[in-house]
């Protein structure tokens, strides 16, 4: 059957860093909690990413902790131990079986979003930009803990941890680059947003001060692995984990302008759309737009959020902006999403109940189209 996607910019080549891509469909960083008890990738994860890699395409792998005290989640990955690095190398080798496939690893510090129960040592410290807890309950059903405000020396140590994690990823684990996690309410985002950052020093108050930590991390990672292998993700309107900023356009315009001035050859910047329908309480936000940030950035720009329920929108956005488009939930359920969109084949439905459940069900058992009979289009939920 003919496809409305095949002739769109989605299937036009683009260069990202030092990698040439054949199309602009990107696997979103999706943490599925399938690691072993040492926070290292498993054989199932190797297969999961092998399935979703395509020749000359970009795969962004899930949020990965930069150090043991960066805030852990059960069965979520790290990139700081020898075992973790060795297992990640098996994942990148599997992805690179597809000629020209490009693997980036998203690296993060969770900050206040974690809990001391998941941190090492006899006296674990939950930290953030300020001593402001996440509102509501954590995944254990308890109130989020009040974090300790980071000192300047501790901030500098974390900057170095990001640098070390980037080197581990690229030099040891075989990744083609890293995406710094500056979104979704984790530590970098905690410094950026006014709802969380109440500091009165050089890291708080003005937009320039609240952006300082983020830009220092970018500088350190660029110095460690090279600008063409460095990327970052932002979410100006994310309400996840209590995030809110008083001036999102001004704040992220400043960040993008600084990146454009200091590191215009970064691999890409990655923004979450305001209409994202997964992590926001505000649904179908069409009042806000990423366009002001797109205009400030001369390099590759990835947008994500809301494309699973409206895949036709991906072609429209790619055609009008030349963006790369990151898919999440539809890529979970369709390891061959690229071919399905290219040929207008029907999509598998995803099962939300298996997103973080563990095991292979709902992870590596979704069928490829060519292994099934055509069953007609299915509604995405």
Q: Are strands 177-181 and 230-234 parallel, antiparallel or unpaired?
A: parallel
Q: Nearest to residue 124, comparing CAs of 207, 165, 68, 66?
A: 68
Between the alpha carbon of residue 118 and those of residues 123, 138, 181, 270, the distances in Å are: 12, 12, 20, 29
Which pair of structure tokens corresponds to residue 93? 């080798």
Residue whose tokens read 């937009």: 207
Are the CB atoms for 87 and 41 separated by under 8 Å?
A: yes
Instruction: Choose the catalytic residue: 49, 73, 80, 186.
Output: 186
Helix axes 152-167, 207-225, angle to 10 degrees: 30
- What is the chain's length? 381
Are the CB atoms for 347 and 37 separated by under 8 Å?
A: no
**CB burial readout 362-372, b (16+ within 10 A) else e:** bbbebeebeee
Residue 186 falls in the annotated catalytic set = yes
What do you get for the CA distance between the two ends of the chain, in Å? 24
Residue whose tokens read 């190797």: 46
Are the CB atoms for 252 and 301 separated by under 8 Å?
A: no
Between the alpha carbon of residue 243 and those of residues 56, 255, 269, 340, the distances in Å are: 35, 17, 20, 35
Which pair of structure tokens corresponds to residue 145? 């803990």
Distance CA 182, CA 360 (A): 30
Stretch (H or E) spanning 268: strand 268-272
Are the CB atoms for 147 and 112 separated by under 8 Å?
A: yes
Are the CB atoms for 77 and 32 separated by under 8 Å?
A: no
Residues assigned a catalytic role: 186
């Amino acid at each position: 059957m003919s496809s409305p996607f095949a002739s769109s910019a989605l299937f036009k080549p683009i260069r990202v860093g030092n990698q040439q891509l054949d199309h602009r469909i990107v696997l979103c960083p999706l943490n599925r909690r399938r690691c072993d008890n040492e926070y290292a990738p498993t054989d199932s994860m190797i297969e999961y990413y092998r399935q979703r890699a395509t020749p000359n395409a970009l795969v962004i792998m899930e949020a990965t902790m930069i150090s043991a005290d960066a805030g852990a989640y059960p069965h979520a990955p790290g990139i700081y131990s020898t075992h973790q690095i060795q297992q990640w190398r098996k994942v990148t080798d599997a992805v690179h079986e597809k000629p020209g496939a490009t693997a980036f690893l998203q690296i993060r510090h969770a900050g206040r979003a974690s809990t001391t129960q998941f941190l090492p040592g006899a006296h674990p410290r939950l930290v953030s930009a300020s001593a402001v807890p996440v509102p509501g309950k954590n995944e254990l059903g308890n109130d989020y803990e009040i974090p300790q405000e980071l000192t300047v020396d501790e901030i500098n140590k974390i900057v170095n941890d990001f640098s070390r994690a980037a080197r581990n990823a690229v030099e040891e684990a075989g990744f083609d680059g890293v995406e710094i996690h500056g979104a979704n309410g984790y530590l970098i985002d905690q410094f950026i947003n006014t709802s969380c950052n109440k500091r009165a020093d050089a890291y708080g108050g003005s937009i320039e001060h609240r952006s300082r930590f983020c830009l220092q991390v970018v500088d350190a990672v660029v110095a460690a692995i090279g600008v063409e292998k460095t990327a970052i993700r932002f979410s100006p309107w994310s309400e996840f984990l209590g995030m809110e900023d008083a001036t999102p356009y001004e704040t992220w315009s400043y960040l993008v302008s600084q990146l454009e001035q200091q590191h215009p050859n970064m691999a890409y910047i990655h923004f979450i759309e305001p209409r994202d329908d997964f992590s926001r309480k505000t649904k179908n936000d069409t009042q806000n737009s990423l366009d002001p940030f797109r205009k400030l950035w001369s390099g590759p720009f990835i947008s994500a959020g809301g494309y699973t329920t409206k895949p036709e929108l991906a072609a429209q956005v790619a055609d009008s902006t030349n963006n790369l488009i990151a898919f999440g939930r539809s890529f979970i359920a369709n390891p061959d999403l690229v071919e399905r969109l290219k040929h207008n084949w029907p999509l598998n439905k995803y099962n939300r109940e298996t997103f973080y459940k563990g095991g292979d069900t709902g992870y590596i058992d979704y069928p490829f189209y060519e292994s099934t009979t055509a069953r007609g289009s299915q509604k995405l939920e």
